[in-house]
A and B are shown apart, each in its own frame.
Chain A
Amino acid sequence: MILQVQDLSVSFGDIQVVDGVSFGVQRGRTLGIVGESGSGKSVSSLAVLGLHRDAAVTGSIVFDGEELVGAPAEQLRRLRGSRMAMIFQDPLSSLHPFYTVGEQIAEAYRLHRRTSRKVARERAVEMLAEVGIPEPRRRAGEHQHRFSGGMRQRVMIAMALACEPDLLIADEPTTALDVTVQAQILELIARIQAERGLAVIMITHDLGVVARIADEVLVMYGGRTAEHARSRAVFKDTRHPYTRGLLDSAPGAVQETGGRLRAIPGSPPSPLEPPSGCRFHPRCPSAMEVCAAERPALLGADHKVACHLEGVTL
Chain B
Amino acid sequence: MTLYLLRRLGAVAAILLVICAVTFVIFYVVPSDPAVQACGKTCTPERVAEVRAQMGLDRPVWEQFGAYVVGIFAGRTLAAGVECGFPCLGFSYQNSLPVWDLLIDRLGTSVSLAIGAAALWLVIGLSVGVISALRRGSALDRTLMVTTLTSASLPVYFVAMLLLLFAVRVTGLLPYPAYVELTEDPVAWASNLILPWVTLAALYAAMYARLSRAQMIETMAEPYIRTARAKGLHERTVVTKHGMRAAVTPIVTIFGMDLGGLLAGAMITETVFGLPGIGRLAYDGIVKADQPVILGTTLLAAFFIVLANLLVDLVYAVIDPRVRYS
Known: A51-B229, A145-B322. A97 touches B246 (CB 8 A): yes
**Does A94 interact with chain B (Cβ within 8 Å)?**
yes
- Cβ A97 vs Cβ B224 within 8 A: yes
Q: Please report the C-alpha to C-alpha distance between residue A86 and residue B320 in the assembled complex, in whole angstroms.
A: 27
- Cβ B322 vs Cβ A93 within 8 A: no
A183 CB → nearest B CB, Å: 24
**Does A111 interact with chain B (Cβ within 8 Å)?**
yes
Known: A97-B246, A143-B322. A80 touches B223 (CB 8 A): no
- Cβ A111 vs Cβ B242 within 8 A: no
- Cβ B232 vs Cβ A77 within 8 A: yes
Known: A80-B229, A81-B233. A90 touches B245 (CB 8 A): no
- Cβ B325 vs Cβ A107 within 8 A: no
**Does A193 interact with chain B (Cβ within 8 Å)?**
no
B96 CB → nearest A CB, Å: 55
**Does B321 interact with chain A (Cβ within 8 Å)?**
yes
**In chain B between 217 and 256, which residues have their CB closer than 8 angstroms to a CB of chain A?**
222-224, 226-235, 237, 242, 245-246, 249
**Does A118 interact with chain B (Cβ within 8 Å)?**
no
Q: Please report the C-alpha to C-alpha distance between residue A226 and residue B231 in the assembled complex, in whole angstroms.
A: 31
Q: Please report the C-alpha to C-alpha distance between residue A259 and residue B234 in the assembled complex, in whole angstroms.
A: 55
Known: A98-B245, A98-B320. A80 touches B227 (CB 8 A): no
**Does A79 interact with chain B (Cβ within 8 Å)?**
yes
**In chain A between 133 and 174, which residues have their CB closer than 8 angstroms to a CB of chain B?**
143, 145-146, 156, 159
Known: A143-B321, A143-B322, A145-B322. A94 touches B232 (CB 8 A): no
Q: Please report the C-alpha to C-alpha distance between residue A73 and residue B232 in the assembled complex, in whole angstroms.
A: 10
**Does A232 interact with chain B (Cβ within 8 Å)?**
no
Q: Please report the C-alpha to C-alpha distance between residue A267 and residue B274 in the assembled complex, in whole angstroms.
A: 70
**Does A247 interact with chain B (Cβ within 8 Å)?**
no
User: Which residues on A sit within 8 Å (CB–CB) of B228?
Assistant: 96
The winner among B222, B233, B245, B320 for most chain A CB atoms within 10 A is: B233
**Does A185 interact with chain B (Cβ within 8 Å)?**
no
- Cβ B321 vs Cβ A107 within 8 A: no
Majority-rule SS of B interface residues: helix
**Does A88 interact with chain B (Cβ within 8 Å)?**
yes
Query: Considering only CB atoms, which chain B residue lies closest to A80 in the complex?
Result: B232
Choice from B223, B230, B231, B319 contacting A107 with Cβ under 8 Å: B231
**Does A112 interact with chain B (Cβ within 8 Å)?**
yes
A111 CB → nearest B CB, Å: 6
- Cβ A81 vs Cβ B222 within 8 A: no
**Does A200 interact with chain B (Cβ within 8 Å)?**
no
Q: Please report the C-alpha to C-alpha distance between residue A107 and residue B230 in the assembled complex, in whole angstroms.
A: 12
**Does A78 interact with chain B (Cβ within 8 Å)?**
yes
**Does A190 interact with chain B (Cβ within 8 Å)?**
no
- Cβ A94 vs Cβ B325 within 8 A: no
- Cβ A78 vs Cβ B229 within 8 A: no
Query: Considering only CB atoms, which chain A residue lies closest to B319 in the complex?
Result: A98
- Cβ A98 vs Cβ B231 within 8 A: no
- Cβ A82 vs Cβ B322 within 8 A: no
Known: A145-B322, A145-B325. A94 touches B233 (CB 8 A): no
Q: Please report the C-alpha to C-alpha distance between residue A108 and residue B238 in the assembled complex, in whole angstroms.
A: 12
**In chain B between 281 and 326, which residues have their CB closer than 8 angstroms to a CB of chain A?**
319-322, 325
Q: Please report the C-alpha to C-alpha distance between residue A93 and residue B322 in the assembled complex, in whole angstroms.
A: 13
- Cβ B229 vs Cβ A82 within 8 A: no
Q: Please report the C-alpha to C-alpha distance between residue A108 and residue B245 in the assembled complex, in whole angstroms.
A: 18
**Does A85 interact with chain B (Cβ within 8 Å)?**
yes
Q: Please report the C-alpha to C-alpha distance between residue A202 and residue B272 in the assembled complex, in whole angstroms.
A: 67
- Cβ A94 vs Cβ B231 within 8 A: no
User: Which residues on B sit within 8 Å (CB–CB) of A78?
Assistant: 232
- Cβ B226 vs Cβ A51 within 8 A: yes
Q: Please report the C-alpha to C-alpha distance between residue A186 and residue B174 in the assembled complex, in whole angstroms.
A: 71
Choice from A81, A96, A156 contacting B232 with Cβ under 8 Å: A81
- Cβ B230 vs Cβ A96 within 8 A: no
Q: Please report the C-alpha to C-alpha distance between residue A93 and residue B320 in the assembled complex, in whole angstroms.
A: 15
Choice from B230, B233, B235, B319 contacting A49 with Cβ under 8 Å: B230
- Cβ B226 vs Cβ A98 within 8 A: no
| B residues adjacent to A (C-beta < 8 A) | 222-224, 226-235, 237, 242, 245-246, 249, 319-322, 325
Could you name 20 residue pairs across A and B whose Cβ atoms are closer than 8 Å?
Answer: A49-B230, A77-B234, A77-B235, A78-B232, A80-B229, A80-B230, A81-B232, A86-B230, A88-B230, A93-B222, A93-B224, A94-B224, A96-B227, A96-B242, A97-B224, A97-B322, A107-B231, A111-B233, A143-B321, A145-B322
Extra pairs beyond A85-B231, A94-B223, A107-B233 (5, CB < 8 Å):
A88-B223, A94-B227, A95-B224, A98-B320, A159-B231
